[in-house]
Structures are given as C-alpha cells and as structure tokens.
A and B are shown apart, each in its own frame.
Chain A
Amino acid sequence: MLKKLKFKKPDTKNSFVTYGLLLVTFAIVKILFEAGKLSYMIKDLLVPLCVYAILAVSLNLTVGILGELSLGQAGFMCVGAYSGALFSNLLEEAIPQVLIRFPLAMIVGGICAAIFGILIGIPVLRLRGDYLAIVTLAFGEIIKNIFASVYLGLDANGFHVSMKTASDLNMDLDGEMLINGALGLNGTPRDSNFTIAFIVLFITTIVAYNFVNSRTGRAVMSIRDNRIASESVGINVTKYKLITFALTAFFAGVAGSLYSHNFSTLQASKFDYNLSILVLVFVVLGGIGSIRGSIVASILLTLIPELLRGSIGKYRMLIYAVILIVMMIVNNGDYFINLKEKISVKFSSKFKKTKKEVV
C-alpha cells in the first residue's frame, strides 16, 4: 500500500522553514497565553498538542523514511509514560529541581521505550507491509495490557511486584503503592508545561531532519526505495531498520513521559490502538515523509474536533470525517499535486529572478 505513494523528501532548506514556522507559532501562542487571551480548553490542549506532534514526527521516520507501517506507537508511548512517571515518583524528593528531574524522566522514558523498540523490532522487522502493521498493533496492545495488570509497591523491604491483585504484594502497611493495576499510576508531579513541551517538540523536529539528511538517513531511504539494490551496495538492512525503529520508539517514549507529567493520574487504557491509528492518520494526511506536514496535521486534527464542540457539537465527528477526506484528496489527489507543483515552480522562478536582480 505504501509503495504506491509518492514520498516527500525533507531537505535542509525545508527544515529551516519548519524551524521558523515553529518558533513563530510558539511566540504567538506564548504571547496570547501570557495576555490571558486563551480559553481554558485551549490551555489544556497545548501540551497534548505538542505530544501528538512529537508522536507524529517520530512515527514519520518509520512510515515515511523507512517505508514500513507501524501501529505500535501507543505501546511505546505507554512504556515511556510509565517509566518516566515512575522515575519522577521515586526521585521526587531526591531531585527537587524540576528542570533537572523532568528532562531526566523524559530521557529515561525514551530509553526504556527504545529498548522495547529494539526487542520488538528484532523479530518484527523481518516482516514487511501489512504483516508488520498487524504484528506491531498486537505488540502495542500486549504492552498496554501488561501495564494495565501490573501492581508495584515499595516498602521498607524493597519493591514488590504482582500481576494479580494488590493484596498479593504482601507489603508492609506503611508501604507505598506505585502502580495500581488498571487504576494506574497516581501522584506524578505535574512538571509538564507548554514551554517545555514545545522545546521537546523543537528538538524532536531538529533530530528528525538531521537524521533524514545524514548518511544514516540516506541508507534508510535507500532501503525504502529498493531493498535489493540497497543490499547490493553494502547496506546492512536489518541494522538500519532497527536504528529507525528504535529512534521512533525513543521519541514515542519521550512523548509518553511528557504526557504522563501533564496529568497526576495515568492509566494504561489510554494507550490503545485508537491512539496508534490516530497518529498514523496524522502522518498520512500530513503527507508521508513530510515532517512539517506531520506537525501541521497533528495540530489541526487535534484542534478541529475540540473547537467544534460548541453549538454544532452534535455533528462534530461528521464534520471531522469530512475534513479527513478533504485533506486526503488535497494531499494525494493528482490534480492538487500538480497544482502545488505549478505554484511552487512559479514561486521559485520568481525568487530566482529577484535574486539575480540583487546580484
């Protein structure tokens, strides 16, 4: 299915436009935020928006650059969310400075997710296409269900783990419950805020662009374009598939950690396959392989259903579906692709002309 689509290639020139757009957007939102012009609803959405954008950008590395369908994004996010939140819960007193603890928690979340990514990737990346999508979907669900049934407690005797019930932990009475099965994880410090979330999104974007425009990125894209030819010029296909998969999982984990520090309670049931598919929708509608597109699509498609909640709330999902279809046509229909090319040719020729005049 993916092979028929035309992959957009993010190049260096493109990347600076994206960085600029991101910074301008941040400045505008920040000014509105400080001036108190944002509604509570939008304020609450700022961190999740960044989280979704990070998820979409990182999934784009696997879907757009490596060319393989993965539906395990929510699973990796779940790993990152739990490990990051656990890290902060345990070390809240040991490291009181938020600006040290929170980045560490995100890195821990990312690394845990990347380890899961590699462990799952080794068997799974032998598959291709639809099969890979199905298996990653299954792994995502397995991860979610495991986290939903884990009980973890801490008392004077150390950690207690059980997969059955809380009473099986045999803890002292003064013990602290860390993960409470399906009820999840409580009391995570709410360290997330819009500025930190934006910085993480910005870093993710830079890393994604730099990854694509490097020796490794070229090798990965060569595998996407023609695996056999790629092997014939000495590219270790398994290695580069794993690197990409691990990087995707890493940023999903970071996003998960960011997400879990935005709410004081965390439940594994939030990370179901709907979330994975939602992120894939962002990537596909934003233009496969286009990093800027992923960010724009994730922001628009998260905001629109929320903004429609008011008077026409009844038809919210109907309108949302129509928007999805229209975006798909605009992004991948032949007519619109030609139109966009014509426009960009016109613009670039105008640009060149003015450049010459200046010289």
Chain B
Amino acid sequence: MALLEVKNLGITFGGLKAVDNFNLTLEKGALYGLIGPNGAGKTTVFNLLTGVYKPTTGTFLLDGKELKGKKPADINKAGIARTFQNIRLFKNLSVLENVKVGLHNGMKYSTVAGIFRLPSFFKTEKKMDEKALELLKVFELDESADTLASNLPYGKQRKLEIARAIATNPKLLLLDEPAAGMNPNETNELMETIRFVRDHFDLTVLVIEHDMSLVSGICEEITVLNFGTELAKGKTDEVLKNPEVVKAYLGQ
C-alpha cells in the first residue's frame, strides 16, 4: 500500500482555483519532487496536506487513514511534518529547545510533573536532551545547541527547521524550498543530508524546490504544477526535458 495517496485534491479562494484536481501517490521511502513556476500552487499543496487550509474538493490518505479536514496538530501527530518556505523557527528559544518542542508529543510528562519537578521531569528531560543532541549532530548543529535560533546563520536555520520536523518522528517529511538562498556548496551538502535522513530515519520525502540541480540530483520522480494544475509527471530527467515544462518555466 502506498504511504500517501492524494485524490483529486483542490481548493478555491473566492473564484480562483489555486489547486485543482491534484493527484499523487507516494510509495514508502520515495524522494519525490514538486516543481513549477512561482504562483503555481506548490506551497498551497503543502498547506492542504498539513491542514493549514481545508480542501474544497478531494481527499488524502496517509497509510490508509483519511486526514482531510483534520487540524494541523493532529495531522502532525498522524505522521506528516513540514518545513516552511519563509523560515518559521521559535526565535526566542535556543536551538536545542527548538528541537525539544519537536519532541513534545514523542516524550511526555505532565504539566504538574514539570511544575513540581517530579522524577519523571528529570528522566524525560534528560532523554529529550540526548535525543535532541543526537538529531542536531546529524545536521552539524550540536555545537550551537545553546545559541538562540534567531542568531543562527541562514543556512543553519534551514537545517534546524528540518531537524525540528524530524524530531516529531514523521512518516512523511515535506520540505518547502530547503535550498532557497543557499550557495552551490551548501546545496550539495543539503542534498547529502536529505538522502541521509531519508535512509537513517526511514522517511518518505516530498520536496518543493526551484534549484534544478537539487531536484535532478535527489528526486527520483517529480510532478510539475502550473496554474494549480498538473502539467507533467514522471521520472525526473524525462519530465525536465518535456517541451511543455520548459515552456512553462522559461516562457516562449
């Protein structure tokens, strides 16, 4: 059974069909790309899949469980985690705490235990610290664990967002333009990291990206969106050669 099944997903804002009839089937362990010109509706698809927007038509299932209409927090608990195009970190919290917020639902103790410092507080906090540091090590952020998230350089902020998303122990990871604003070296490094986390954490990854070197470098298959509808779909190198796709990207 496929991990993610999206069927006829669509949303309209007023009279505008932002996304229309979007279909997608992701097998477990896939590294899938979603590309398209600006305003094509890529991020809207992410917002639909994470519950930020409620779809007007269609539905989507994760592991056979319907998630349409659920709240963002519940969708995350069901196993979808995401990063954001415009970085959304918890700015006044440290790097370590950002990841620990991600661990919130995985490692629990009650509010009362926290206030009265019961043994479960110390035990769980210690485990959380270890787990969070382990995650930060993967992204080479463990050195700056105590830095405020807002004081990190841009590239590291992007990495921290991915680390935070992975901390929620998802099955499916949605990355929204992870390479935006990165130089070629950083992009190469990021590609390695994405591949590594997919294998290491047993994830399925859906990635929106404009950087074609990243897309052709790591995505096995892609979908191209244009004006909210699917323009092409299939093996990455074949789709990128498709004249329709080239036209949509470069104009005539």
Contact = CB atoms under 8 A, between A and B. Distances in A.
A219 B101 contact: yes
A120 B90 CA distance: 28
Closest 6 pairs (CB-CB, A-B): A214-B114, A234-B76, A229-B88, A231-B72, A225-B90, A216-B111
A218 B252 CA distance: 51
B87 to A, nearest CB: 9
Interface in A207-238: 207, 210-211, 214-219, 221-222, 224-226, 228-237
22 contacts: A9-B93, A211-B111, A215-B100, A216-B114, A217-B114, A218-B93, A218-B97, A221-B93, A222-B93, A225-B93, A228-B88, A229-B88, A232-B81, A233-B104, A233-B164, A233-B167, A233-B168, A234-B76, A234-B168, A235-B73, A235-B101, A289-B92
Given A221-B92, A226-B88, A235 B82 contact: no
B208 interface: no
A225 B91 contact: yes
Contact of B117 (A6, A210, A224): A210
Given A218-B104, A232-B81, A207 B93 contact: no
A222 B114 contact: no
Contacts of B164: 233
A7 interface: yes
Given A214-B121, A234-B76, A243-B111, A226 B90 contact: yes
Contacts of A6: 92
Interface of B: 50, 52, 71-74, 76-77, 81-82, 84, 88-93, 97, 100-102, 104-105, 107-109, 111, 114-117, 121, 124-125, 128, 164-165, 167-168
Interface in A289-318: 289
Contacts of B90: 221-222, 225-226, 229-230
A229 B161 CA distance: 9
A228 B52 contact: yes
Given A214-B115, A218-B97, A236 B91 contact: no
Contact of B104 (A9, A219, A224, A229): A219
Given A222-B90, A222-B93, A232-B50, A207 B102 contact: no
A233 B88 contact: no
Contacts of B107: 215
Which range holds the interface residue count of chain A? 20 to 34
A243 B114 CA distance: 13
Interface of A: 6-7, 9, 207, 210-211, 214-219, 221-222, 224-226, 228-237, 243, 289
Nearest to A229: B88
Nearest to B87: A229
B115 A207 contact: yes
B134 to A, nearest CB: 17
Given A215-B111, A215-B114, A225-B93, 9 more contacts: A207-B115, A211-B114, A215-B125, A218-B104, A228-B88, A231-B73, A234-B73, A234-B77, A235-B104
Contacts of A225: 89-93
A212 to B, nearest CB: 9
B75 to A, nearest CB: 8
Given A9-B93, A230-B90, A218 B101 contact: yes
A233 B111 contact: no
A226 B91 contact: yes
A7 B100 contact: no
A7 to B, nearest CB: 5
A219 B104 CA distance: 7
A236 B88 CA distance: 17
B249 to A, nearest CB: 29
A203 to B, nearest CB: 10
Contact of B101 (A9, A230, A289): A230
A236 B115 contact: no
Contacts of B168: 233-234
Contact of A211 (B50, B102, B109, B115): B115
Contacts of B101: 218-219, 222, 230, 233, 235
Contact of B105 (A7, A210, A216, A234): A234
A218 B92 contact: no
Contacts of A233: 76, 81, 101-102, 104, 164-165, 167-168
Contacts of B124: 215
